[in-house]
A and B are shown apart, each in its own frame.
Chain A
Amino acid sequence: MTTLNEPTVANEAAFPPTPAGTSAGPGVPWSKAILGVVLAAAALVIPFFFDVTTVGLFSQALYLAVAAMGLNLLTGYNGQVSIGHGAFFGIGAFTTGILMVDHGWYFEPTLPVAALVAALVGAFIGFPALRVRGLYLALITLGLAVLFPRVAAKFVTGQGGVALLRPDRAEFDPVAPFDGLDPDQWQYFVCLVVTLGLLLLARNLIRSRMGRAMIATRDQEVAASTVGVDLARVKVGTFALSAAYAGVAGSLSVMVDKVADATNPLTYFELSIKFLVAVVIGGSATILGPLVGALVLTFLERRTDSLIEGKEILSPAVLGIALIAIVYLLPEGVVGGLSRLWHRFTTKRTPPAGPPPPVTPLRQTSTS
């Protein structure tokens, strides 16, 4: 009753009932298809429409979204709470940083390596998760987030002898067929492609056998294991995959921010909290939730920073209050709340009480 792996409210959001009668194809309603096309067009236009700073913000929101998607797989769908995903993010960032600065790699090939390294560490942390649950697991991951910057500070010596790696800016310039783009536009598109790819992967995974096993484990672990779910495989596997997402996000962050920085011991703890916040305000256990949450969070933070000039101290206060307000107004997150609204407007109203027209049932029985 009091543990964190209680089924979340947003359960149903994973499999939203498709309103009958509005289908454009198997399972895709027209309204959704149109919305998808509009959003895709908007995503493509963004880098040509906004200034460099704003495009950079969008890129940041995208890598934040990747990390939040990973955390959502673990926390939203599998019920394992982590407040240490910043550490995996950092592992990804430093893998990329070290490979580029010390070993002269290009940026792109470091992405899978970062994912792999983060996944390995994630699997290692996932094993205790088999025994340690809920809040205790959250605390172990918290420890990881606290530990990471110190480990980095001890073993990584970058510029000025501190744990700070700055790859050459030119390394991130657009490659051959795309050299017409500005660096910021190119970087935005790299983030966009990676984000969409991982979004699709998460969506398909959740609808697969593995995804159902993850959800079953979250909702009722004992029952899941009695019907043949291999708890160890599901939990450790989810942990590793989730860590890999965070690692990719960290790797992308090196491209966007041009730096892997562990000089502030609290950075990665704060990042862990940011991921969690993005998941919750977007809507946990929804596919699009982390992406929406990351966008909201990034621009909200920006807004609160510029809102109160001269009183920068207050900006976290405004952010904190905004978070509380969002949890109040949209307890299922932005996506959960919106999809409820959406269904209210797109589902046909149930006919008011009274005898239904007699033709319909007759036709149905005769054709089936």
Chain B
Amino acid sequence: MDLLFSQLFNGVANGVIYASVALALVLIFRSTGLLNFAQGEMALFSTFVTWRLTESGLPVVVAILASAAMSFVVGAVIERVLIRPVEEARSPLNVVIVTLGMFLALNALAQLVFGTDPQQMPSAFPDGRVDLGVTAVAQDTIGLAAVLVAECLLLYVLLQKTGVGLKLRAVASNPDSSRLVGINTGAMLMLGWALSAGLGAIAGSLVASQRTGFDASLMQSVLVFAFAAAALGGFDSPLGAVIGGLVVGIADALTVQYVGFLDGIEVIVPLGLILVVLLVRPTGLFGRNVVERV
């Protein structure tokens, strides 16, 4: 029983990581209707920036916030300079190629600027574990979960309860009509990318601090699971991303522990799960259906 609980919490700990990256993916999808394959590498770059700031003596929390602010600006610039000119051609594949190009370029640039040696990111949360009766949980995990919940709430409020959020959603669902009713679509797209880059910076920095060391490959394993989480929850739902992340994390952890013959290919379980969910609900668990007019 203890083993089950400790595996469950392992799963939750990983799931929280996947969810935090998935949240950034969902945000970009919500506000621009695009999948950003470079999300992980953008976060990686921000993570290195955070690390460099802590090395220069800043407290971790300040460094993370500063890095998130910088990423916010850079995200907006990326949208304006790299994405928009291509997007105007109305070919989604071309935008995918640009994000893939960014994926390659950012990863290489991060290695060039910050070196290839593994680095240690100081943790933003106190050391030690909290005893929950059945098992002990690292405070890191609890802290990351708390940040995630806060991010989720803020996003919900921003998207559903504010005028800006309404505009963001309008632009994502129909840019032409939004422009006609007077929304500055360009500004909204920039804002979407900026917010997503900022969230990615926070996620990356916190994820790195949980690892014993991080290098340029930090995000590569996380990104696939984050995509899986976002697909499971439905790309347009922040809550879905979080739940998707947890489900993927827990399913992965339990398979490792209990399903011996899948040893080495545990990843088949979250993927199979997604396949089943998508077959039953093609828009994900929490996604909304889009009615198509012919």
Interface residues of A (CB under 8 A from B): 1-4, 6, 8-9, 75, 81, 128, 131-133, 135-136, 138-140, 142-144, 146-147, 150-151, 153-154, 220, 222-223, 226, 266, 273, 276-277, 279-281, 284, 311, 313-317, 319-324, 327-328, 331
A-B contact pairs, 24 of them (CB 8 A): A8-B91, A75-B93, A128-B278, A132-B278, A135-B235, A136-B235, A140-B274, A143-B267, A143-B275, A146-B267, A147-B271, A150-B268, A151-B268, A276-B97, A277-B97, A280-B93, A280-B94, A284-B93, A311-B112, A316-B107, A320-B102, A320-B108, A323-B101, A331-B94
Asked if B172 CB lies within 8 Å of chain A CBs, one says yes
A281 to B278, CA, bound (A): 31
* Chain A proximity mask over B251-271: 1 for CB below 8 Å, otherwise 0: 000000000000111011001
Query: In the complex, which of the residues B29, B33, B107, B264 contacts A153, with contact meaning CB atoms closer than 8 Å?
Result: B264
A68 to B65, CA, bound (A): 43
A4 to B29, CA, bound (A): 13
Q: In the bound complex, do residue A2 and residue B172 qualify as a contact, i.e. CB atoms below 8 Å apart?
A: yes
Asked if B104 CB lies within 8 Å of chain A CBs, one says yes
Asked if B186 CB lies within 8 Å of chain A CBs, one says no
Known: A4-B92, A81-B93, A277-B97. 7 other contacts (CB 8 A): A1-B175, A9-B90, A128-B275, A142-B227, A280-B93, A320-B100, A324-B101
Q: In the bound complex, do residue A147 and residue B265 qualify as a contact, i.e. CB atoms below 8 Å apart?
A: yes
| Contacts A220-B294, A323-B100 given; does A1 touch B107 at CB 8 Å | no
| Contacts A128-B279, A313-B108 given; does A154 touch B294 at CB 8 Å | no
- Residues on A with C-beta less than 8 A from B91 are 8-9, 331
Q: Which 10 A-B pairs have the closest CB atoms?
A: A2-B33, A320-B105, A320-B104, A317-B108, A323-B101, A143-B271, A320-B101, A324-B101, A316-B104, A331-B89
- Contacting A at CB under 8 A, from B107-146, are 107-109, 111-112, 116
| Contacts A135-B35, A151-B265, A324-B102 given; does A317 touch B112 at CB 8 Å | yes
A247 to B82, CA, bound (A): 35
Q: In the bound complex, do residue A136 and residue B101 qualify as a contact, i.e. CB atoms below 8 Å apart?
A: no
| Contacts A2-B33, A2-B34, A139-B227 given; does A150 touch B271 at CB 8 Å | no
A328 to B111, CA, bound (A): 26
- Residues on A with C-beta less than 8 A from B8 are none
Asked if B228 CB lies within 8 Å of chain A CBs, one says yes
Asked if B96 CB lies within 8 Å of chain A CBs, one says yes
- Residues on B with C-beta less than 8 A from A279 are 93
Q: In the bound complex, do residue A140 and residue B94 qualify as a contact, i.e. CB atoms below 8 Å apart?
A: no
Q: Which residue of A lies closest to B235 (CB)?
A: A135
Asked if B284 CB lies within 8 Å of chain A CBs, one says yes
- Residues on A with C-beta less than 8 A from B94 are 280, 327, 331
| Contacts A132-B278, A280-B97, A327-B101 given; does A143 touch B224 at CB 8 Å | yes
- Residues on B with C-beta less than 8 A from A154 are 263-265
| Contacts A139-B274, A147-B271 given; does A132 touch B97 at CB 8 Å | no
* Chain A proximity mask over B149-175: 1 for CB below 8 Å, otherwise 0: 000000000000000000000001111
- Residues on B with C-beta less than 8 A from A220 are 294
A279 to B278, CA, bound (A): 27
- Residues on A with C-beta less than 8 A from B224 are 142-143, 146
| Contacts A147-B268, A280-B93 given; does A313 touch B227 at CB 8 Å | no
Q: Which residue of B lies closest to A153 (CB)?
A: B264
- Residues on B with C-beta less than 8 A from A280 are 93-94, 96-97
B92, B98, B173, B274: which has the most chain A beta carbons within 10 Å? Answer: B92
- Residues on A with C-beta less than 8 A from B35 are 135, 138
Q: How far is the CB of A180 from chain B (nearest CB, A)?
A: 42
A266 to B223, CA, bound (A): 12
Q: In the bound complex, do residue A277 and residue B93 qualify as a contact, i.e. CB atoms below 8 Å apart?
A: no
Q: In the bound complex, do residue A150 and residue B174 qualify as a contact, i.e. CB atoms below 8 Å apart?
A: no
A140 to B33, CA, bound (A): 18
Q: Which residue of A lies closest to B216 (CB)?
A: A313
Q: How far is the CB of B173 from chain A (nearest CB, A)?
A: 8
Asked if B86 CB lies within 8 Å of chain A CBs, one says yes
| Contacts A139-B231, A140-B275, A222-B294 given; does A133 touch B282 at CB 8 Å | yes
Asked if B85 CB lies within 8 Å of chain A CBs, one says yes
B94, B227, B284, B294: which has the most chain A beta carbons within 10 Å? Answer: B94
A6 to B93, CA, bound (A): 10
- Residues on A with C-beta less than 8 A from B292 are 222
Q: In the bound complex, do residue B97 and residue A327 qualify as a contact, i.e. CB atoms below 8 Å apart?
A: yes
- Residues on B with C-beta less than 8 A from A150 are 264-265, 267-268
Q: Which residue of A lies closest to B35 (CB)?
A: A135
| Contacts A9-B89, A131-B279, A147-B267 given; does A273 touch B100 at CB 8 Å | yes
Q: How far is the CB of A317 from chain B (nearest CB, A)?
A: 4
Asked if B220 CB lies within 8 Å of chain A CBs, one says yes
- Residues on A with C-beta less than 8 A from B235 are 135-136
A319 to B100, CA, bound (A): 10
Q: Which residue of B lies closest to A137 (CB)?
A: B278
Q: Which residue of B lies closest to A127 (CB)?
A: B279
Q: How far is the CB of A329 from chain B (nearest CB, A)?
A: 11
A1 to B45, CA, bound (A): 31
Q: How far is the CB of B32 from chain A (nearest CB, A)?
A: 8
Q: How far is the CB of B264 from chain A (nearest CB, A)?
A: 5
A69 to B94, CA, bound (A): 17
A292 to B35, CA, bound (A): 27
